[in-house]
Amino acid sequence: MYSEYSIVIAGVGGQGGLTLSRVIATAATLSGLSIKTGETLGMAQRGGSVQSYLKIGKIIRSPLIKKGCADALIGLEPLEAVRASSYVGPHTKIVLDPNPIPTIFNLVGKEDYPSIEELLRILKEKTNQFYIIQARREAEKLNARQSANMILLGKLISLDAFLPSEKIEEAIRIVLGEKAGKAIAAFRIGMNL
Amino acid sequence: MHHRQNLVLMGNEAIAYGALTAGLAVASGYPGTPSSEVIDTLLELTASGKINRPYIEWAVNERVAFEICLGASLSGVRSLVTMKGPGLNVASDPLLSSAYSGVEAGMLILVADDPGPYTTQTEQDSRWYGEFAKLPIIEPSDPKEAYEYTILGYELSEKIKLPVIMRTTTRVNHTVSDVKVKEFVEPSYTPSFSKNPKRYLRAVMTWNRERHGEVLEALDKVESLAEEFRLNRVEGLGKLGVVCSGAAYTYVLEVLEKNKLLDKYRILKLGLIHPIPKKIITEFLKEVDSVIVVEEIDPYIEMKLKALAYDEGLQVKIMGRQELFPRVGELTPDDIESVIIGRQFKLNNVALPMRPPPLCPGCPHIGTYMGLKMGISRAGHRWGEIPIMGDIGCYALGLNPPFEAIWTEHSMGASISMAVGLKAAGYPKPVVAVIGDSTFYHSGITSLIEAIHKDVDLLVVIMDNLTVAMTGHQATPEYELSISGRRMKRLDLEKVVRGLGVERIAVVDPYNYRDVSEKVREFIHQPGVKVIISKRACAILEKRAGIGQVCWIDPEKCTNCLACLKLTGCPALSPLEGRVSIIESECVGCTLCMQVCPYNAILVRKIGVAKINV
Ligand code: SF4
Ligand code: SF4
């Protein structure tokens, strides 16, 4: 098993990064492990850059992750994944949904969204354990847009079993309650991608 | 009785749990990131019936919250007041007198600083207030300690009969971690308040001088109490010293453990920041060859250590934020590792486009800014020519495109008073101040009184969204029912403004942005203070309450001119895949985009009714 596992979740406010972080944290506690998460919360508005840090292990000291030292980066959006890429080192696994979300500057025509190829190239240069997952598209097939993140988590767990998948499913049930069904289905799809 | 339970809690939740374990009776505060979840949690627990406390409510501002809690503690019940760093500046007047009155039951002042800063106007270090206000300061390093220190804080406060400040930073307030909690304790007391003029009255100067002396004597006891409570501790036996506090302690420990350097180092972890514990520090300084001080924001402990070393005639080299670390921003484990083992870390060197949060879909402020923009132009001015003095709240996001509206955002209520200043200086053009409802009640109201009294030519737009939106929708003086279940008396903003003596007042609905613009055009050149109340509940609240309609774009009529997007900036309008469309799940049906579409391509659809083109 892993003595410590650290994850950066990078996305846009409203994409559900916080829920994802709560699911992983809950699964860790269910597995008898300690956790610390670092989040920058506190704005009601969605649509800004959001990064969360999660560390799981026997004893966890700080909520922050050192640059180049994350075990995994879950990228919910490509520009935001690149923004968090200083945490990526050669051993880091990246699971990324490559579908862009434009910024307000892009929307009003003040600035162009960077080229996706260029963003992917930056990530690829940092690690060769880079997995591009069409999570939102897959989730839409399930008619469960909100569950895209669970597909990414499923993929990551299939690469690195840092927590038992039963505990994650149990955590999804605790965190999401009634809405857990589709999220668990999405998680399983991710596991098999 | 005292069951221990393992919970996954955010630092702020842990503080709320700690206060309840300590038998908290009265809590108040003003919302401010990263402190808001403490009172939010207490309110939730009250609402769910899990606790029953005499008083847990948001206050109109921090100084009022502070004075409520001081009054409660004088009557013998434990109180908690919470705020962000700049909030303590607002409460600093009663704070400085509070040492002189002291307390009967424990009073804990939670102040949450924001190194970075992530969500605060200044990177303020509130630890300086300890010395300034002559009150003890304690600083926890993680949620678990935040829970424990909250309980200890009350004990300390009652032992020395002074309020205690607990200073936290974002990485403690917003870190989620597993915390062992005990059962809540019902407050057992009968409130009583007795006359004690020397303590509670500041009108007699000899009393004030005497109290100053007594306060200093009380503070002298804190160091040994801190020893009893084990607030400060030394770890390791090495010759290289590190002195640290708060979240920075967890970074230090992690870096030393991971690099297997613990045996070379000796760590002094300070939980008591003021008064600085001299004995343990002096002993520590004698044992080590050099000292690195790791602390958030200012070189506070570092300067204390240097002064102490000088007094004790110690030659040991002490270095910290003044010499080794970045002087601004949040410390990280990387900063510490680069100092301790010289590991260099790489930051992103690609310049990436910023992504500030936009105003929400259907945000009423969008309509107000559209109206302001149009009204200013209809009054014969260019947009960008008339200063729009901004204030603190969601509407400050109007600094971003498409509006790029506000010229200033300073401190709570400053929009109006700084606008008065421009006019006082003889600024020749019209000046506009925009302020939210809660910020208006918090501090803007006194600025408005000044503007009215001095008969300044000024247009004030109060953007009334009926809540403290930015920090997560806390109560304003216009709430009739608190989450705690308390019935409250609703204030009426228009009556308040009219009562102050403003004659030109208009209440408009920002969803009819042309009404806003019409009033702006009419008022802007009129003499004296004019107030437009642009009133509409926050779109997030409206959406939660249930909306009746959404908008959609008829692809047959839409020319993809993007006027809707460029004029509203509404995030529910999505130009992906080459054509603009409305993300139905995001839209709140405000119709602002519809009002600007030159081709009438945007249509309303009642929820539950199919899209029909009429
Ligand atoms: S303003 Fe009207 S025509 Fe222009 S892009 Fe928007 S919906 Fe289409
Ligand atoms: S009606 Fe238009 S402006 Fe209003 S929320 Fe919907 S898309 Fe946005």
Question: Which residues in B lie closer than 8 A to residue A40 (C-beta atoms)?
Answer: 116, 118-119, 170, 174
Q: What is the mean pLDDT of residues B497-525?
A: 98
Is there a shared CATH topology between the B232-340 domain and the B364-542 domain?
Answer: yes
* Token representation of residue A37: 């998460």
Ramachandran quadrant class, A16 (left: phi over 0; alpha: psi -120 to 50; beta: rest): left
Helix (H, G, I), strand (E, B) or coil at B460: strand
Query: Tens digit of pLDDT for each residue in B278-299?
Result: 999 999 999 999 999 999 999 9
Distance between CA B419 and CA B459 in Å, rounded?
9
Q: Is the pLDDT of residue B174 over 70?
A: yes
Chain A residue with minimum CA distance to B575: A107
Taking the centre of ligand 2 as the mean of its atom positions, its distance from the CA of residue B73, in whole angstroms, is: 49
Fold of B547-606: Alpha-Beta Plaits (3.30.70)
Q: Which of B220, B222, B229, B292 is nearest to B255 (CA)?
A: B292
Fold of B232-340: Rossmann fold (3.40.50)
Report CB contact under 8 Å: B355, A29: no
Report CB contact under 8 Å: B353, A106: yes
Domain residues for the domain of A111 are 4-191
CATH code, domain with A98: 3.40.920.10
Mutate to test the interface with A, among B141, B176, B538 (most CBs of A within 10 A): B176
Q: How many structural domains compose chain A?
A: 1
Query: Tens digit of pLDDT for each residue in B131-168?
Result: 999 999 999 999 999 999 999 999 999 999 999 999 99
HEC-encoded secondary structure of B545-575: HCCCEEEEECCCCCCCCCHHHHHHCCCCEEC
Quick one: which ligand is closest to B510's CA? 2
Mutate to test the interface with B, among A62, A65, A113, A140 (most CBs of B within 10 A): A62
Q: Would you call A64 an interface residue with chain B, using a CB distance cutoff of 8 Å? A: yes
Query: Tens digit of pLDDT for each residue in A24-58?
Result: 999 999 999 999 998 876 676 788 999 999 999 99
Superfamily name with CATH number, domain B5-227: Thiamin diphosphate (ThDP)-binding fold, Pyr/PP domains (3.40.50.970)
* Token representation of residue B285: 């300084």
Cβ of B481 closer than 6 Å to ligand 1, yes or no, is no
Question: Which class for B366: exposed (0-12), middle (13-18), buried (19 or more C-beta within 10 A)?
Answer: buried
Superfamily name with CATH number, domain B364-542: Thiamin diphosphate (ThDP)-binding fold, Pyr/PP domains (3.40.50.970)
Chain A residue with minimum CA distance to B468: A44
Taking the centre of ligand 2 as the mean of its atom positions, its distance from the CA of residue B605, in whole angstroms, is: 12
* Token representation of residue B581: 């469309």
Report CB contact under 8 Å: A114, B353: yes
HEC-encoded secondary structure of B132-147: HHCCCEECCCCHHHHH
Quick one: which ligand is closest to B574's CA? 2
Which of ligand 2's atoms lies nearest the C-alpha of B551? 1
CB distance B520 to B458 below 8 Å: no
Cβ of B602 closer than 6 Å to ligand 1, yes or no, is yes
Model-level pTM?
Answer: 0.95
Average pLDDT, chain B: 94
- Give residue B65's identity as a one-letter amino acid code: A
Which stretch of DSSP H or E encloses residue B152?
A: helix B143-160
Query: Tens digit of pLDDT for each residue in B534-559?
Result: 999 999 998 899 999 999 999 999 99
Distance between CA B483 and CA B36 in Å, rounded?
14
Nearest protein CA to atom 8 of ligand 1, as residue: B558
Q: Is the pLDDT of residue B357 over 50?
A: yes
CB distance A54 to A4 below 8 Å: no
Q: Where are the alpha helices (DSSP H) in B463-608?
A: 493-500, 513-523, 539-545, 563-568, 592-596
Which stretch of DSSP H or E encloses residue B357?
A: none
Q: State the virtual CA torsion across A139, A140, A144, A148 in degrees, nearest 10.
A: 30
The domains of chain B are located at 5-227, 232-340, 364-542, 547-606
Q: Would you call A67 an interface residue with chain B, using a CB distance cutoff of 8 Å? A: yes
Taking the centre of ligand 2 as the mean of its atom positions, its distance from the CA of residue A118, in whole angstroms, is: 33
Percentage of chain B beyond pLDDT 70 is 98
